[in-house]
Amino acid sequence: MNFLKSFALNAILVLPLILGASAANADVVTLAGKSEGSFSDISKCSGNCRIKNGDDGAKTVLEWGYTNGFFGFFAKPGSTLVAKDREWNVDLGTDATSVVLAELVWTNRATSSSVTPDKFNANYALNINFSNPNTSTDTEAFSFSIFNTKNNAGDKLMGLGMADLANLSFLLNDVVMSNLSYQLAAGSAGAFDGNYWYNPENKTSTLYIMADFKAAEIKPIEEDVSEVPEPASMALFGAGLFGLVALRRRKGA
């Protein structure tokens, strides 16, 4: 009975150390990064089009159909497309799905036909930077066209295609990225069908670029465990053996 008590006591003392070591080895992967976008190269604009600085930095606002007014009077804003900065910091202990990597906000206003182009082109540059689990960066340029129909009919943007997303790639340690896609934010007006982004007149529509991430499955190295005891097992066995020797010495005394 004394032997069993000694063995149990030693096992209890050693067990927390074993469990603590196991917990320390179960590292949780964190995915962190940020993105920023900007506009450039307006072309074929027969009305008022311009690129401005915004809250998210230089050249982050594309505006068209605006009216300058006279000496500051009667000026009216036009429709705008804004490139928003995004940041993410997610735990990959479980799969991280639908992580928003980029955001575009389109406010469509009913503007005068005299200053609004029927159609024009522009470029959108997206820069994505990961900082964890390691540093990885990629940039993609999107060429798009905006079609302005008559007021009350809504307008369309064409040129945000899957081929552009396919050009984005990142080398992330033990992390796999998949399902890059476009998706309208919940509650946004309009629709996106993979070809056209439609926005009704006097509405705001937000489009996300999203992706899924998961920790890569790392296959353990196969070992002959029948011949080489695990460290935890050896520690527990040693504790019990120590208790047995101490008990026998006590009896001998």
pLDDT of residue 21 exceeding 90: no
pTM: 0.76
Do residues 191 and 114 share a domain?
A: yes
Alpha-carbon distance 73 to 1, whole Å? Answer: 98
Query: Hey, what amino acid is at 26?
Result: A
**For the chain, how many structural domains are there in total?**
2
Alpha-carbon distance 43 to 45, whole Å? Answer: 6
In DSSP terms, 84 is beta-bridged to 103
Do residues 10 and 86 share a domain?
A: no
131: tokens are 């900082």
Region 163-181 average pLDDT? 94
pLDDT of residue 153 exceeding 90: no
- Using a 10 angstrom Cβ sphere, with 0-12 exposed, 13-18 middle and 19 or more buried, the burial of residue 126 is buried
Q: Is residue 220 domain-resident?
A: no
- Is residue 95 a contact partner of residue 214, using CB atoms and an 8 Å limit? yes
Q: What per-residue confidence (pLDDT) applies to 188?
A: 96
> Residue 142, CB half-sphere, CA atoms under 13 Å: how many?
25
23: tokens are 């917990």
Instruction: Tell me the pLDDT band of 65, cut-offs 50, 70 and 90.
Output: very high
Do residues 96 and 139 share a domain?
A: yes
Do residues 108 and 58 share a domain?
A: yes
pLDDT of residue 183 exceeding 80: yes
Do residues 105 and 148 share a domain?
A: yes
Alpha-carbon distance 152 to 5, whole Å? Answer: 85
Do residues 96 and 173 share a domain?
A: yes
Q: Is residue 10 domain-resident?
A: yes
Q: Is residue 222 domain-resident?
A: no
- Using a 10 angstrom Cβ sphere, with 0-12 exposed, 13-18 middle and 19 or more buried, the burial of residue 154 is buried
More confident residue, 250 or 210: 210
Do residues 238 and 182 share a domain?
A: no
Region 121-132 average pLDDT? 98
- What is the residue whose two structure tokens read 């179960």? 26
Do residues 165 and 244 share a domain?
A: no
Do residues 201 and 168 share a domain?
A: yes
Do residues 64 and 188 share a domain?
A: yes
Do residues 20 and 37 share a domain?
A: no
pLDDT of residue 92 exceeding 60: yes
In percent, the amount of the chain with pLDDT more than 70 equals 74
Residue 15 belongs to what domain range? Answer: 2-27+227-252
Instruction: Tell me the pLDDT band of 70, cut-offs 50, 70 and 90.
Output: confident
Q: Is residue 196 domain-resident?
A: yes
Q: Output the average pLDDT for the chain.
A: 83
Do residues 126 and 243 share a domain?
A: no
